[in-house]
Chains A and B, each alone.
Chain A
Amino acid sequence: MSPRPDVADHPPRILIVDDERANRELLKVMLTPEGFLPLTAASGEDALAMVAQQPPDLILLDIMMPGMDGYQVAAKLKGDLSTRNIPVIMVTALDDRNARMLGLSAGAEDFLTKPVDRAELCVRVRNLLRLKAFGDYHDKYSQMLEGEVVSRTAVLAERTKQAAVLTEQAALLDLAQDAIVVRDMDDRILFWSRGAEVLYGWLSREAIGRRTGELLRTEFSESAEKIEATLLRQGQWEGEAIHHKRDDTRVIVASRWALQRDAADAPRRVLTINNDITDRKRGDAERRLLTERLSLATAVAKIGVWEWDLASNTLTWDATMFDIYGLPPMVPMPFARWSAAIHPDDLPAVEATLQRAIHEKGQAAADFRVVLADGSFRRVSAVERVILDERGNVSRVIGVDMDVTERKEAAEALEQSRQAQIQFKDAFLSHVSHELRSPLTAIKQFSSILLSGVAGELNKEQHEYQQIVQRNIGQLQAMIDDLLEVTRLETGKLTVEPDRVSISDAVTDALDTLRGTARGKGITLSGDVPADLPLAYADQTRLRQILIILLDNAIKFTPDGGSVAIRARLLQQERSCLLLEVSDTGDGISPEVGERIFERLYQVSEPGTASRKGLGLGLYICKELVTRQGGRIWVESQPEKGSIFSFTLPVYSPKEPVRS
């Protein structure tokens, strides 16, 4: 509201300054009837003091006064900001132009010349008062305007300051790598941090004003309504969401929302802070996948993983462990519950293994049986390793239990089947040899009857032919014997029982046995055994068997008229060994045959070896028998000159057990 300049709310106060009392009274008399309130001052100094105390509305100022004159007073008044607007009328006797100029220069608004005309005085006073009123109004208005400007400037400054603070805070928010977004309740973006720009690829100026849901194509794991309800109810929400970047790639974010309410408690804005956890999630997923794969692998392989905490004496098992033991899951599990499940016959050894691993701070392995609730067994193979605490003491043992029931059963089944096969082969060969012997018996019987002449005398040819039959019966019989012998070797039925054996007796016996055969071929048989030869530690029956096979072979492969010899002596380099040699004057064996001659079913197939070869089992049986008596066998041969089969046997020493 603006002041009204023409209405005074009090009688205008007019200060009359004159050193002449008469002049002051005169003016007073003139002004009072006009409704003015005249005040008087007798000097310039008094006047200034009165003005300072209470400023008048107008001053009538005499020029010529002792002390301060009118010009000085005027200059003083006009020089002071608080009094300059008070109109001053100079009253002077000097009616000249020079005096007026001085007065105006000093700041006086008007002049009156003495003697003062009453009418003129009143008009001039009134005019100046009116002017002053306008001046005052103008001043006040200006002041008001200025005040308003000032206050507005202050508001603006405050606002600028706040804006600066906000900008600063926003800059701080920008420092955060999180994507910080402020949006209104209409989902329009109000603030979009630098982190949001980086994460989503949208600049702040592009994002502001748009809806987050549309810009980021948000996907939540729970319904948007539920999230909204949570936000309104609790003032915040926390969860994961999927956002799309500007380039359409998906990011998984951990999102935190906070609701801001206004003074009236109405929802106003939502602050959201989003963290990119895509990589972490991928890592989590990969870890989870890895763990799943591992669990799958251990479950499929039936490998249970366990940990034994020594302090609490409890076990932590994975699911496979409970499967293997057929126990309901229990966490943690008392150690005793495990030991109760172990087969009592196996438990001491398993516990000893565990204790040893702890004692040695190492690892160990054990095989044992687990007894299931139904009384059946599971075969378990366990491997464990101790874990040391920071002081180097064993605090835990971790390990795996593998269910090897199927594997063991398969191995056992395989072994059983192998045994069954061997048994079958054994039974088969026993049966076959038995059945072969029966007709052979009849053949031999009747051939012998014919030869004996019981059925009538044979002529020379008939007799000779029957002898061929007899020789072949002998070979067939030997083959059947060899077949059974090999079967016994392989089924482990052939036992070697070493004892004190006289080599001399064994050699004599073998030579006696084959003397007839040798004589038939005109072969010289001889033996050379030193009288002081130590006793051998061997199985007498088996030694005889070896010697007969070697002699028989030697005779077989030696042409008529040749010689076969047995020689025995103490081995020079190894005095704990006896060496026996069977030498012949046969065709010899080619070097490439070498040791192969001792292989099973090996047959010498050289031209000139016209005689029957047999099954090729004799030397194999020899080698097996020699080896089982702690010796070795080999052959040295020179083609056309003959072969020497040599074997060793241990010398009997009193330390060896003697069979009664």
Chain B
Amino acid sequence: MSNRKILIVEDDGDVRLGYHILLNAHHYDTFFTSDSLSAVSGARTHQADLMILDLGLPTGDGFVVLEKFRANADLAAIPIIVVSARDLHGNKERALEAGAKAYLQKPWDDDELLSIIGQLLGQPDLSVAPLG
């Protein structure tokens, strides 16, 4: 079976590379956009199975992306993990309310990230109980 596809919206190149190495090593295909505007088109083009979303993005807040995904029927089903350097306080709650499935603070723990991805992709019905 082909690898699951993960879209990563992240403006930091180093971090993008880190994602790429880690996720490829765990047999995920990775696609990248570095701004909020191209997130929707990226998800459609690559038919992403999951999205990792940063909040502080050059062309608009990550929350805007969350709203767009929730508003579009073809995208609403894609599980989103928000990974941000922003303070957990306030942001986590808000992100989960906006439709994110999980919230991780940078720098995250790789094992935790991989575990969440595994859960979200292997057991889609877990989405009703947000992780984090």
Give me the interface of A with B, judged by CB distance under 8 Å: 430, 433-435, 437-438, 440-446, 448-449, 452, 454-455, 473, 477, 484, 488, 493
Cβ of B18: which chain A residues have Cβ within 8 Å of it?
441-442, 445-446, 449
- List 18 A-B residue pairs with CB atoms under 8 Å apart, sorted by A's residue number: A430-B86, A430-B87, A433-B85, A434-B86, A435-B85, A438-B12, A438-B106, A441-B107, A442-B14, A443-B107, A444-B108, A445-B15, A445-B19, A445-B22, A449-B18, A449-B22, A449-B25, A488-B89
Residues of B within 8 A of A445 (CB): 14-15, 18-19, 22, 107, 110
Please tell me if the beta carbons of B25 and A441 are within 8 angstroms of each other in the complex: no
Contact B12 A442 (CB under 8 A): yes
- Which chain A residues border B106 with CB–CB below 8 Å? 437-438, 440-441
Measured between C-beta atoms, what is the minimum distance from A90 to chain B in Å?
Answer: 170
A452 contact set on B, CB distance < 8 A: 22, 25, 110
Of A433, A448, A454, A484, most B-chain CB atoms within 10 Å: A448
Residues in A with CB closer than 8 Å to B110 are: 445, 448, 452
Interface residue tally for chain B (C-beta within 8 Å): 18
Q: Which residue of A lies closest to B10 (CB)?
A: A441
Using A437-B107, A442-B12, A442-B18 as known contacts, say yes or no to A484 and B89 having CB atoms under 8 A apart: yes
In the bound assembly, the distance between CA atoms of A454 and B28 in angstroms comes to 14
Assuming the A-B contacts A434-B56, A438-B85, A441-B108, are A454 and B21 also in contact, with contact meaning beta carbons closer than 8 angstroms in the complex? yes
Cα distance A477–B104 when bound, in Å?
14
Which B residues lie at the A interface, using CB under 8 A? 12, 14-15, 18-19, 21-22, 25, 56, 85-87, 89, 105-108, 110
Q: What residues on B are CB-neighbors of A444 within 8 Å?
A: 107-108
Q: How far is the CA of A441 from the CA of B12 in the complex (A)?
A: 10
Cβ–Cβ < 8 Å partners of B89 in chain A: 484, 488, 493
With most chain B CB atoms within 10 A of its CB, the pick from A430, A442, A446, A484 is A442
Asked if B107 and A454 make an inter-chain contact with CB atoms under 8 angstroms apart, the answer reads no
Contact of A442 with B15 at beta-carbon distance under 8 Å, contacts A430-B87, A433-B87, A437-B85 already known: yes
Q: How far is the CA of A443 from the CA of B15 in the complex (A)?
A: 9
- Taking the nearest CB of chain B, how far is it from the CB of A655, in angstroms? 30
Question: Which residue of chain B has its CB nearest to the CB of A443?
Answer: B107
Interface of A is mostly: helix
Cα–Cα, bound, A443→B108 (Å): 11
Contact partners of B107 in chain A: CB under 8 A: 437, 440-441, 443-445, 473, 477
| B25 contacts across to A, CB distance below 8 A | 449, 452, 454
**Bound Cα distance A440, B108 (Å):** 10
- The interface residues of chain A lying within 8 Å CB-to-CB of B86 are 430, 434
Cα separation A442 to B13 with both chains bound (whole Å) = 9
8 shortest interchain CB distances as A-B pairs: A445-B18, A437-B85, A444-B107, A442-B14, A441-B106, A441-B107, A454-B25, A434-B85
CA distance A452 to B106 in the complex (A): 19
Among A441, A448, A455, A477, chain B packs the most CB atoms within 10 A around the CB of A441
A454 surroundings in chain B (CB, below 8 A)? 21-22, 25
**Apart from the given pairs A440-B107, A443-B107, 4 other A-B contacts in the complex at a CB distance below 8 Å:** A435-B85, A441-B18, A449-B21, A493-B89
Task: Report the Cα distance A433→B21, complex, angstroms.
Answer: 26
Alpha-carbon distance between A445 and B12 when the two chains are bound, in angstroms: 12
Chain B positions within 8 Å of A430 at CB level: 86-87
Q: Known contacts A438-B12, A442-B14; is A455 also within 8 Å of B21 by CB?
A: yes
Contacts of A448 in B (CB 8 A): 22, 110
Q: In the docked arrangement, what's the CA distance between A446 and B110, Å?
A: 11
Interface centre among A433, A444, A473 (most CB of B within 10 A): A444
When chains A and B are docked, how far (Å) is the Cα of A435 from the Cα of B19?
19
CB proximity of B114 to chain A, nearest CB, Å: 10
Q: Which residues of B contact A443 (CB under 8 A)?
A: 107
Give the residues in chain A near B87, CB-CB below 8 Å: 430, 433-434, 484
Specify the chain B residue showing the minimal Cβ separation from A439: B14
Interchain nearest-CB distance for A496 vs B (Å): 14
- The answer for the CA separation of A473 and B109 in the assembled complex, in Å, is 11
CB of A441 within 8 A of CB of B15, answer: yes
Report A-chain residues with C-beta under 8 Å of the C-beta of B56: 434
Q: How close is B106's CB to chain A, nearest CB, in angstroms?
A: 4
Assembly CA distance A443 to B106 (angstroms): 11
Bound form: Cα–Cα A448–B85 in Å? 18
- In the complex, what residues of A have CB within 8 A of residue B22's CB? 445, 448-449, 452, 454
CA distance A449 to B113 in the complex (A): 13
Q: A448-B110, A473-B107, A477-B107 are in contact. Are A441 and B21 (CB under 8 A)?
A: no
| Residues of B with C-beta under 8 A to A493 | 89
B25 → chain A closest CB, angstroms: 4
Say how far A439's CB is from chain B's closest CB, in angstroms. 8
Give chain B residues whose Cβ lies under 8 Å from the Cβ of A440. 106-107
CA of A599 to CA of B21, assembled, Å: 44
How far is A444 from B110 in the complex, measured between Cα atoms in Å? 9
A352 CA to B85 CA, complexed, in Å: 55
Report the separation of the CA atoms of residues A488 and B89 in the bound assembly, to the nearest whole angstrom. 9
Bound complex: CA of A435 vs CA of B12, how far in Å?
Answer: 12
CB distance from B21 to the nearest CB of A (A): 5
| A448 closest partner in B (C-beta) | B110
Min distance, Cβ A477 to any Cβ of chain B, angstroms = 6
The docked-state distance in angstroms from the alpha carbon of A449 to that of B25 is 9
Smallest CB separation, B94 vs chain A (Å): 15
B24 to chain A, nearest CB (A): 8
A488 to B85 alpha-carbon distance, docked (Å): 17
A311 to chain B, nearest CB (A): 63
Name the B residues within 8 Å of A438 (CB-CB).
12, 15, 85, 106
How far is A442 from B12 in the complex, measured between Cα atoms in Å? Answer: 9
**How many Å lie between the Cα of A557 and that of B4 in the bound state?**
46
Considering the chains assembled together, what is the distance between the CA atoms of A434 and B84 in angstroms?
Answer: 9
Bound Cα distance A430, B88 (Å):
11
